[in-house]
Amino acid sequence: MCNQAVGLAAAELERRGISTVTIQLLREAAEKVRPPRSLFVPFRHGYPLDKPDDADRQHEIIDAALRLLEDDSLKPPALVDFVE
Amino acid sequence: MGDMSEFSMTVRLFLKAYPWKKIDPVPWTPLSKPLEECRLALVSSAGFVPPGQEPFADDVTGGDPSFRAVPSDVDVSTLEEYHRSESFDHSGLLGDPNLAFPIDRVRELADRGRIGSVNHRYLSFMGSVTAPRRFMRETAPAAVEWLVEDEVDIALLVPV
């Protein structure tokens, strides 16, 4: 449900002129809900940035998400896999 | 990981039959300026509540659709987690709230100049909302209005 909820919130933000990027943990939900711009990560629920207490690892995932905002080739709905 | 296989059979059957809300049309706001000039807000669905605010309710049919504003200078160790789902392991979040609400991480990005700044407040909600009608029509638009008023440029949204 979390994946749907952040997608719905992202849509509301985009409607109001705020660019968004959403982390997604469940591909089935992402494909059906269709958030505007998402990074799919292959981590278990509860661990969207992979590892607790590992700032470098968390930054890797956040940076991959932020790069989607800079990619002007993407079209909505954009669902991009996180690549190690 | 990251798929249905991590859930119990009961949860898998529920999700398979669940009427997901399809966003249609999909709204799209391209980045209007370099990230280095953007003000960022975080939005987390992990159910974190800062000191002094009301916990998310766990007895609302369909899930508590409310939001909390979280000051961006909060000490993450003071956040309390009220996500009602029993379908995932909460221990990572409890030990390090940055795992799903990366408040320290985005502050570091602003310090490094990767983003322009962080907003003075973020949004927190409890993502286990199976009946999202009120969430979509009332509480999310009202919460987003706060970020519009703050002239936020970009948002990073993290589920759990």
φ, ψ of residue A81 to 5 degrees: the values are: -75, 140
Residue A41 pLDDT: 97
Phi/psi zone of residue A55: left (φ > 0), alpha (ψ -120 to 50 degrees), beta?
A: alpha
**By the CB < 8 Å criterion, does B76 face chain A?**
no
B7: its two tokens: 């859930």
Residue B4 pLDDT: 79
CA distance B35 to B96: 26
Evaluate whether B157 touches A20 at the Cβ level (below 8 Å): yes
Which of residues 24 through 53 in chain B touch A, CB cutoff 8 A? 24, 26-32, 35, 41, 43, 45-46
pLDDT tens per residue across span A9-23: 999 999 999 999 999
Residue B143 three-state SS? helix
The complex's ipTM?
Answer: 0.98
**Residue at token pair 């979280």:** B70
A34: its two tokens: 């269709």
Residue B99 pLDDT: 98
φ, ψ of residue B135 to 5 degrees: the values are: -60, -45
Which of residues 16 through 55 in chain A touch B, CB cutoff 8 A? 16-29, 32-37, 40-49, 51-53, 55
Give me the tens of pLDDT residue by residue for chain B, a chain 160 residues long: 567 788 888 888 888 888 899 999 999 999 999 999 999 999 999 999 999 999 999 888 888 999 999 999 999 999 999 998 888 899 999 999 999 999 999 999 999 999 999 999 999 999 888 888 899 999 999 999 999 999 999 999 999 9
pTM above 0.90, yes or no: yes
Evaluate whether B157 touches A6 at the Cβ level (below 8 Å): yes
Average pLDDT, chain A: 96
Query: Pairing between strand B67-71 and B121-125?
Result: antiparallel
**By the CB < 8 Å criterion, does B116 face chain A?**
no
Residue B54 pLDDT: 96
Domain-by-domain residue ranges, chain B? 25-158
B90: its two tokens: 């909460």
Q: Which residues of B touch A82 (CB under 8 A)?
A: none
Phi/psi zone of residue B134: left (φ > 0), alpha (ψ -120 to 50 degrees), beta?
A: alpha
